[in-house]
Structure 1
């Protein structure tokens, strides 16, 4: 879309504000105070308008909202919109501030009494086209599609959808000029406008294609056969009224609201009212937005869409950071490098950052590195920049050797942003960096787990500083250049800024962590875990490429067999991945029942539907098996060998430390946490993780760790007694729930109890339990009621935890990790319920995450001291995997479970179990 005066941009403000309200968390003017004014919809609206203004430059704009009160449609049909829920109070409270901030941002605001926003937009669109303008309407409302023509386009920025003439025709099966007829036939459930009974989009489009218009269809209503024809004839008297209700008016009198129509001058783009806007942002707690205006640097603010949750007040450190001058240097001589090395040795703490050839930490090579020793003072050491204009740089290997003593000195304190990555980069050059004492990514993760932890967000949020982006230097997509080709002067400004900003952010975050003993302990654990994870990632695990190739071949044969079986059951070949073809075969040809529909009204064939239909039909069962095996093949047996280091045959998974809000690690490239070990084919994947000759694989994992944590947290006497007595806790639960002795518990009852035990930890409802066990809801509810009667401490813990979460906005693990719950007081019921489930589960998952991290650190320390030949190679959920000399197996069996069980003292004993084998699967 070009920036031209021929564009009129109309925003469906009513659509926007509802989307903003439901898309954003429950933000408040005073963060953490649920009694202060709600601000989530306001913030979302500001962000959406900023983004839209950048995406669609226009000379004329307007933001249109529905006015309160009835319209002509209510007079025409008293039940119009009768089924709509009232506007949530928290959204209603934000309407006036939203109107205010939209005006301050330079957008004319229209609310016309007695006229809906759609009708105002329709009228303005026609006025704009009449004056030669191109009109762009931004809305998620499909009803506005009837306005589309060669000069009017509807865009939906939330999902990237563009409804021009071709887009409307492709989406609905009719061109825009037939959309009113289409909507009349289909009706509008949202607005409670009936259509023709049992006539959906597909039938409506077919009829209109056949007869050309609603009027022509009505004339031939007697020719339509079957139930659909009768329903059409039954609706003939209603259709004229229905058509009036769904038709957007394009001739409203807006002159009172826009004096001077049809000149449209009242909608000329206005400038932002900076002073008033800053006051508004301060009033509603949007301190980062206020700081950006204060800095008066729109070019530095990027696209004007800062982090959605960036409301942290700036400290004195942050204020100084955004106002000071900087002294950045490029090191191109040995003399300057030696001078800077003296500064590095003398500094209390050095911000250290690398610029590299790749994001792949195992293969990345250094292009340059930067140092910051005090606020505003930084230097860049370019080492591998290329190109005709690149200056002569110090030799990379020699410069690294000159720096090695400082880099490997544990007594020289260093700071980084995501230090584990930089450790790998230096290790690729044979340097083991020591002395890393701080990581700003991990500081943010400990303090504000629910917020973004990248340096750009951190600097903007905590210091008000915005800077050069990687894309500014290197470009995007196919045109992106390697960092080594960036001119050194520009690279230096970027790299120095990174190191400098890292030091700035640290100076804001570290005092907040120091102020809490609990957070200090969790942060120390994260720093130590980063070191251990670096070692584990560096070790990697050997995979048997030949075994994987055989498994891929066998899976491929079975997948082909399943395709042929599916064709025979369907009576024809078809695309197994096409929802449209599946729907036609399932429901039209084979007469299977429709389980549910998609948001657009199509008959769903998703995984849940396939599982339900597979209970009674063989074809869905084959498709489920086909999908499962295809995923195994593409994700694991085909890919693992490709991801292995070609020299060593080892796979080096990456552990993302600052992703999961519970503290759990995330494994990727490859993801080893999602191997489906409940199926035989999935377990075979683990057979390919092997040990070299003379060595074995060992697996040591915590037993029923989350249930033990539940017993500790709840203090329930029956649960505590079961664990202290060394009982099978699922059998003990079955005995309690079914009222029998331990000896009388059947395998089926134990299975039920296991589902109940783990299900309640994850907030499973009676409906979920019924579905999981294949029983009715009443029986499931009775099981849950009986469980809580036998374990009242668990019930009380759940109630107390939800209440505490609502009062303080977060919960904690046993060790003090803080787990934020921004939606715990949300007016949105489903979101609030999800937050309540998280409040119950997060302390258990988070405590389990803390325990496995403590175990990793403790075990690694013992290995370093006593058994350096034993390598820790994987961490998956509550399990540690080792590669070791066969002769060390007895030592590991005796020592590692004891270390893991001894990292914490809970109200119940921790238990870790160990297995040893030639491969990972055998070790289980």
Structure 2
């Protein structure tokens, strides 16, 4: 609940951003959707209504409107930039089906529903907000959308719904200035520099949030920055503004809310007077929301939630609208601080007697490889915790504190915590090795609800209905704020203790959910041990030869310049190759090339597939494709890899993400090694810069065609199994069967087409998709797929069975039981249903591969540590593991790694093969 002096007076105008709240409501319940007795998913309507009623109950609202995007027409932003919001997935069908009900409920509450054709809801809200502000009225914008921060003022505030309960976080002009050191009007410039991936706003390459704030404090606006681009001290910012001024201007036009628009409405008319009880009763009965009727004093009907709760176990889950959200109560918990060396020794003795406890580290940075330790908190009982600051208040230094706690942490006892990889890495950097088995509540939550958010605040809200103390209360939001080092021990201690306490409380709850979801073994046998493995790999890092990087970068820059000169000569003028508008003018107006396809706004498209087709008509489209791929390689890797090398270790320490992908695969960031191109020569050259220690070798071990082998084992297809059992080439065999010829007669082109089908079929590739990939007629692609299914009937049967199982269970699962929930599997929307069906087929295969390589990593890690090897595991990329090996261990390491990878997850009658090689760099070894 907001403090009394934070809310506007009763005559304020409340403008509610409908779709953002509906999205939020839908995804709060994504892993356990609200389904009524008619089989309707009512999550979005339920959560939206609950938030709206909370707002009405807490504030005596007189003027209000709920604003929707009209959705039928393209907006001016789409006309301005046809890639605007291009990477957004369509809303889930279940959410869309809730929208008419939400509108009826809003109208029943006598709140105007606004939709203005051709105008986004943001602009409608912005125009009305400024209109009311001009009349000296207070305005409250209810939305989680950050873009509205540009409207903040002394009269305009934002109520941002908090996650997990129905409280609202209040943003004002003053809180914005405190947070960013800028005026709210400058938030437009900040967004223009940063870009916005959710709306596909390009921004300026090389400028993130922190740099944007710093630049705007000095230069105030995008336009002034462009004028002074040459004067900027930072290389990335200077080059970014010099090379991407047009993108900055475009981005600013895209992100600015158009408050001057005439939306044909007067804010004074947006009044609510009395409920339409008849309408509300009807819609609440339809959705079985009779508890809301009780809340509003409206008589309910039959079939209410209360009457069905006792009978339907699926409705036993308490979704929390009436249960008071728990928060830190200093009187109810026993949190203590270790202040002296004497107290430290006594605490260490007590902790050493515990067989199981949670711990959490506080540090000066989110990067564990560069952060300083600020303190450690521990909990071995709910509502009890101890904080050990480093150094201690009696000036006992950090090293001395760790000398006492280190041996306790190293013992073979179970450690609980949230995102333990961070804590393990941080402590490794401070010379402390954490031993024992782990229970990571972030990883556990990922296994039971893979589509949800997994940070500690969200998990505490979701699982315990507990609202944690925000870190912003201690150090402020985001960048240029204090670190935990500047926070007084007395202030930091409750926050730190709460982290350990809540992690301890979460563990038992999540253990039960893991068991209910049949993924307890996946957690304890695969994912929890992997935390130790990944922490060790990240801490080890890999050596990077920056001289090779510089050489490659120089070559790419020379290639870009050469392509540009060639394009400009052919075009007869210079233009911005990266501008789709300018490129379109050259291709379709000046050169009069045929329009292959159009954007949603009717403009000629210049997307990759179009340029590929046009490359047979003229040289420029093919050159532009070369330029784009080269530029992407340069900007994504060559411009930043060298900067990521650790100043002390001289190595690159990528971060492996264990909870990002719904299939169970690992991803990586800073840098993203999974996306380094391997099929192009330029992409392969980047791997040349990854090198071992002097005199050592890099060893690459790669599962051969593992997903097809898993497919053969799962399907039991005789033909596919036989090929692998006999050591044949699966792509040649597929081509021979599809084309009805002998394997020795298969041409390279036929094998290539069969390979695309082999890898495409398990991912639901369509005839049209295959035709696009292979540049063949759709009819030919359809015939190939049809013949493939005939040739491998077991595979065809399996694909059907996987979809049917997902429809029956509501989720797909791997051979070991890892699950991915599929709420759209029975959707009436064919596109949404088809996408879910593709996931139902793909996830069991790709997820099983992920399980297999994780098991191998765990076993190899244990062998390396237990047998005292010098060999180190460095990277995991797709189906490949990369090691750094001394010469005297090379033969033994190859044998051991091959054994552990092949035996990680035996496949029924299908051999697992590992391709292995070594070299002086990653390219040579792969």
User: Corresponding residue for 1:537?
Assistant: 538
In 2: Cα distance, 1:578 partner to 1:802 partner = 42
Matched, 1:801 2:830: no
Q: Alpha carbons of 1:544 and 1:29: their partners in 2 closer, same or farther (altered >3 Å)?
A: closer
Q: 1:41 aligns with which of 37, 40, 44?
A: 44
Matched, 1:399 2:401: yes
CA contact (8 A) 2:25 2:47 kept: no
User: Corresponding residue for 2:295?
Assistant: 276
Q: Alpha carbons of 1:631 and 1:921: their partners in 2 closer, same or farther (altered >3 Å)?
A: same
In 1: Cα distance, 2:23 partner to 2:647 partner = 49
Deviates more, 1:479-488 or 1:370-379: 479-488
Matched, 1:578 2:579: yes
How far does the alpha carbon of each residue in 1:56-82 deviate from its partner, in whole angstroms, 9 at most, with x for none?
A: 998621348999xxxxxxxxxxxxxxx
Q: Alpha carbons of 1:324 and 1:481: their partners in 2 closer, same or farther (altered >3 Å)?
A: closer
CA contact (8 A) 1:519 1:816 kept: no
Q: Alpha carbons of 1:653 and 1:34: their partners in 2 closer, same or farther (altered >3 Å)?
A: farther
In 2: Cα distance, 1:156 partner to 1:493 partner = 27
In 1: Cα distance, 2:601 partner to 2:52 partner = 27
User: Corresponding residue for 1:342?
Assistant: 349
CA contact (8 A) 1:322 1:464 kept: no
In 2: Cα distance, 1:88 partner to 1:576 partner = 38
In 1: Cα distance, 2:799 partner to 2:884 partner = 41
How far does the alpha carbon of each residue in 1:379-433 deviate from its partner, in whole angstroms, 9 at most, with x for none?
A: 1111259xxxxx54532111111112211112x3221111111111111111111
In 1: Cα distance, 2:25 partner to 2:596 partner = 27
In 2: Cα distance, 1:92 partner to 1:657 partner = 33
Local SS of the residue matching 1:895: helix
User: Corresponding residue for 1:352?
Assistant: 359
In 2: Cα distance, 1:523 partner to 1:348 partner = 17
Question: How does 1:817-896 map onto structure 2 within 5 Å?
Answer: 817-866=818-867, 868-896=869-897
In 2: Cα distance, 1:765 partner to 1:705 partner = 22
User: Corresponding residue for 1:512?
Assistant: 513
User: Corresponding residue for 1:186?
Assistant: none
Question: How does 1:197-346 map onto structure 2 within 5 Å?
Answer: 276=295, 291=320, 293-295=322-324, 325-346=332-353
Q: Any stretches of 5+ residues in structure 1 without a counterpart?
A: 68-86, 141-147, 169-246, 261-271, 301-320, 386-390
CA contact (8 A) 1:443 1:509 kept: yes
Structure 1 residue 866 displacement after superposition: 4.2
User: Corresponding residue for 2:372?
Assistant: 365
Report the RMSD for the aligned CA atoms in angstroms.
Answer: 4.7
User: Corresponding residue for 2:920?
Assistant: 918
User: Corresponding residue for 1:634?
Assistant: 635
Structure 1 residue 457 displacement after superposition: 1.2
Question: How does 1:713-732 map onto structure 2 within 5 Å?
Answer: 713-732=714-733
CA contact (8 A) 1:99 1:109 kept: no
In 2: Cα distance, 1:450 partner to 1:88 partner = 16
CA contact (8 A) 2:34 2:43 kept: no
Q: 1:8 aligns with which of 10, 13, 21?
A: 13
User: Corresponding residue for 1:695?
Assistant: 696
Structure 1 residue 545 displacement after superposition: 1.4
Question: How does 1:480-499 map onto structure 2 within 5 Å?
Answer: 480-499=481-500
CA contact (8 A) 1:362 1:428 kept: yes
User: Corresponding residue for 2:383?
Assistant: 376
Deviates more, 1:618-627 or 1:546-555: 618-627
CA contact (8 A) 2:25 2:46 kept: no
* Rg larger for: 1
Q: Alpha carbons of 1:135 and 1:754: their partners in 2 closer, same or farther (altered >3 Å)?
A: farther
Q: Alpha carbons of 1:330 and 1:349: their partners in 2 closer, same or farther (altered >3 Å)?
A: same
In 2: Cα distance, 1:430 partner to 1:763 partner = 49
Local SS of the residue matching 1:109: coil
Q: Alpha carbons of 1:133 and 1:911: their partners in 2 closer, same or farther (altered >3 Å)?
A: same
In 2: Cα distance, 1:699 partner to 1:802 partner = 35
CA contact (8 A) 1:7 1:133 kept: no
Local SS of the residue matching 1:921: helix
Matched, 1:60 2:63: yes
User: Corresponding residue for 2:610?
Assistant: 609
Local SS of the residue matching 1:726: coil
Q: Alpha carbons of 1:5 and 1:422: their partners in 2 closer, same or farther (altered >3 Å)?
A: same
Structure 1 residue 894 displacement after superposition: 3.2
CA contact (8 A) 1:442 1:523 kept: no
User: Corresponding residue for 1:555?
Assistant: 556
Structure 1 residue 345 displacement after superposition: 2.2
Q: Alpha carbons of 1:671 and 1:253: their partners in 2 closer, same or farther (altered >3 Å)?
A: closer
How far does the alpha carbon of each residue in 1:322-357 deviate from its partner, in whole angstroms, 9 at most, with x for none?
A: 999211112112233233223312333111000001
How far does the alpha carbon of each residue in 1:549-602 deviate from its partner, in whole angstroms, 9 at most, with x for none?
A: 111111111111112122212211112222222222222222223333444444
In 2: Cα distance, 1:26 partner to 1:621 partner = 47
Q: Alpha carbons of 1:26 and 1:561: their partners in 2 closer, same or farther (altered >3 Å)?
A: same
Q: Alpha carbons of 1:253 and 1:293: their partners in 2 closer, same or farther (altered >3 Å)?
A: closer
Structure 1 residue 728 displacement after superposition: 0.2
In 2: Cα distance, 1:861 partner to 1:296 partner = 43
User: Corresponding residue for 2:464?
Assistant: 463
Local SS of the residue matching 1:740: coil
Local SS of the residue matching 2:361: strand
Q: Any stretches of 5+ residues in structure 2 without a counterpart?
A: 1-5, 71-91, 144-150, 162-170, 172-184, 189-261, 276-290
Q: How many residues align?
A: 766
Structure 1 residue 273 displacement after superposition: 8.4
Question: How does 1:104-115 map onto structure 2 within 5 Å?
Answer: 108-110=110-112
In 1: Cα distance, 2:68 partner to 2:522 partner = 51
Q: Alpha carbons of 1:470 and 1:828: their partners in 2 closer, same or farther (altered >3 Å)?
A: farther
In 2: Cα distance, 1:22 partner to 1:446 partner = 21
Q: Alpha carbons of 1:449 and 1:277: their partners in 2 closer, same or farther (altered >3 Å)?
A: farther
How far does the alpha carbon of each residue in 1:784-842 deviate from its partner, in whole angstroms, 9 at most, with x for none?
A: 11111111111111111111101111121112212222222233332221111001000
Local SS of the residue matching 2:612: helix
How far does the alpha carbon of each residue in 1:5-26 deviate from its partner, in whole angstroms, 9 at most, with x for none?
A: 675345586x789x75997699
Q: Alpha carbons of 1:281 and 1:876: their partners in 2 closer, same or farther (altered >3 Å)?
A: farther
Deviates more, 1:581-590 or 1:759-768: 581-590
In 2: Cα distance, 1:546 partner to 1:50 partner = 62
In 2: Cα distance, 1:716 partner to 1:28 partner = 34
Structure 1 residue 537 displacement after superposition: 1.4
User: Corresponding residue for 1:224?
Assistant: none
In 1: Cα distance, 2:580 partner to 2:140 partner = 31
In 1: Cα distance, 2:631 partner to 2:99 partner = 49
Local SS of the residue matching 2:733: helix
Structure 1 residue 871 displacement after superposition: 1.3
Q: Alpha carbons of 1:137 and 1:548: their partners in 2 closer, same or farther (altered >3 Å)?
A: same
In 2: Cα distance, 1:755 partner to 1:581 partner = 35
In 1: Cα distance, 2:890 partner to 2:807 partner = 49
Local SS of the residue matching 2:700: strand
Question: How does 1:614-763 map onto structure 2 within 5 Å?
Answer: 614-763=615-764
In 2: Cα distance, 1:803 partner to 1:341 partner = 55
